[in-house]
Structure 1
Amino acid sequence: MNEGRFPKLILFLTLLFLVGPFLVVFIAAFGAEPTLKFPPSGFSTQWFTKVFGVESFRTSFVTSLLLGLTATLLALGLGVPVAYALTRFRLPGAALIQTVLTSPALVPGLVVGLALLQYFVNVGGPVYTSLLVAHTALLIPYVVRVVTTSLMNLRPEIEEAAISLGASRLTAFRRVILPNIRGGVAAAAVLAFITSFDQVAVSLFLTGPGVSTLPISMLTFMEYNYDPTIAALSTLLIVFSIAFVLIFERLLGLSRYM
């Protein structure tokens, strides 16, 4: 009996370590005090109402939403063909290509943000375009990795059978490969969107006047305000993220690909 308690204790402490900060934020969001405090001495939902009254939160949420959706679509459009090429063809320097594709996810975000800032300063262009290009570059490694796993689990004989029956490689990819890896593509899309929506390090360098993502707006808000509004917004984002993932998990079974 005692031998079984130790693993359970470790499991409980690990879960407490992971979930504890979210519980603190959740409870603090309902505080009645004008300053962020845990545990709160009163109960109030006024801070959730204030979240929707802050204009910077509304505009930056729309920016993050559109940026995340657009960058995800672009990353899928680029990453899916790359994953297909890496798994179905013997490319010279395939290992180097995979290393280059993985590098944006391995290099610290601050380094990537500084490098992209220097690049876009020299090239020029609108702030939103810079953010879109940067987010797309960051998402491609995740798309390639997830879709590559799905393609490796798909027997190549299925595609070869379609080609032997007269289908072109493009037709076989469109009508045979894609329907069989749609779960992996959906998993890559969910992972890419959440990564873009929550991106801080790179966005911190590339945001500019009139264009800001929601995480950057939250950081700016905290510089001048220390009330439970930021905890209320964080709670809403946690609920949004969990619901988003659970819906797709229920529909497509994303845990098989992630």
Structure 2
Amino acid sequence: MRHGIQRHGGSVIHAFTLTVLLLMWFPIATLVILSVSGDGLLAFPPQSLTLDWYIDVFTSDRAKDAIFNTLKIGLVATPISITVATLTVIGIEKYEFRGKPLVLLLVIAKLLIPGVVGAVAVFQAAEAIGIQGYWVVVLVHVIATLPFASLVMLETFSNFDESIEAAAMDLGANEITTFRTVTIPNMITGIIAATLLTFTFSFNEFIYTYFVRNTGTTTLPVYLWNRITYGLDPSINAISVIFLVVATALIALTAAVSSVRKLIT
């Protein structure tokens, strides 16, 4: 038996891994093919190919508004989330104070809370204090992305050589100057990686946005959900592929930046 395991174990593992990958990616491949199908929503395999569904997405006023809203929200929520995450992590790593583990737990607690529960809570809180429209959507995107930004920044700062800061302060720099000219420049690749990942999560955020958005802040995920709910058409496949391409590109770019950071450090 041991000889058989040694002889065929690798082949079995490879076959199992290949099967899992096929099960994961076959639906995605099907979606991509259907997005250029000229035969309708569920005609597979397609008998003809077309780019009309992509053209429909980029010429639709509602789709363009949804894309614009997604970018407008993400480009504001992301720097806010990164700034809060960076300052929080630096405070946790550099200073001793009571309740430090609790602060870290509160920052990442959103990961432990079901999305619907968190969304309902934020919606009720926003209603209670009277925040509506664009800024409440930005707020929920910050809440949704802050844990991920904090975890990336925590890993970035844990690899930071604090002796560089000590050397700068020995040469006469105060804490603000050291932070601006030494700390941030030496963390910049980690900050860029966290920014790209945070924007990716913001771009794909649906649950929180769905509960608090109004008609003027419909994002691309909400637009896609509405199209699925109120009438299926082949353009939803094109929208889904757009999501896939953007998310994959941002994650690949994040991985590339992280690899550069590891080589530098």
Q: TM-score range by the shorter chain?
A: over 0.9
CA distance in structure 2 between the aligned counterparts of 1:182 and 1:175, rounded to whole angstroms: 11
Structure 1 equivalent of residue 149 of structure 2 = 143
Displacement of 1:242 in angstroms is 2.3
Q: How does 1:66-145 map to 2 (within 5 A)?
A: 66-145=72-151
Q: Are 1:159 and 1:177, in contact at CA under 8 Å, matched by a contact in 2?
A: yes
Q: Are 1:187 and 1:254, in contact at CA under 8 Å, matched by a contact in 2?
A: no
Paired residue type of 1:42: S
Structure 2 equivalent of residue 225 of structure 1 = 231
Q: Per the alignment, do residues 62 and 255 of structure 1 end up closer, same or farther by CA in structure 2, a change over 3 Å counting?
A: farther
Structure 2 equivalent of residue 240 of structure 1 = 246
Deviations 1:134-192 (CA, angstroms, capped at 9, x unpaired):
11122222222111111111122121111122111111111111111111111110111
Displacement of 1:255 in angstroms is 8.4
Paired residue type of 1:3: G
Displacement of 1:254 in angstroms is 6.7
Higher alpha-carbon deviation: 79-88 or 235-244? 235-244
Q: Are 1:249 and 1:255, in contact at CA under 8 Å, matched by a contact in 2?
A: no
**Equivalent residue in structure 2 for 1:214, among 198, 213, 220:** 220
**Equivalent residue in structure 1 for 2:202, among 187, 196, 202:** 196
Identity %: 25
Structure 2 equivalent of residue 35 of structure 1 = 41
Q: How many pairs align?
A: 257
TM-score w.r.t. length of structure 1:
0.93
Q: Are 1:36 and 1:226, in contact at CA under 8 Å, matched by a contact in 2?
A: no
CA distance in structure 2 between the aligned counterparts of 1:146 and 1:214, rounded to whole angstroms: 26
**Equivalent residue in structure 2 for 1:17, among 11, 15, 23:** 23
Runs of 5+ in structure 1 lacking a partner?
A: none
Structure 1 equivalent of residue 177 of structure 2 = 171
Paired residue type of 2:90: Y
Q: Are 2:66 and 2:220, in contact at CA under 8 Å, matched by a contact in 1?
A: yes
Cα RMSD over matched residues?
A: 1.9
Deviations 1:96-146 (CA, angstroms, capped at 9, x unpaired):
001111112221111111001111111113311110111112222222211
Q: Per the alignment, do residues 124 and 255 of structure 1 end up closer, same or farther by CA in structure 2, a change over 3 Å counting?
A: same
CA distance in structure 2 between the aligned counterparts of 1:42 and 1:109, rounded to whole angstroms: 40
Q: Are 1:184 and 1:254, in contact at CA under 8 Å, matched by a contact in 2?
A: no
**Highest relative contact order (Cα 8 Å, sep 6+), 1 or 2?**
1
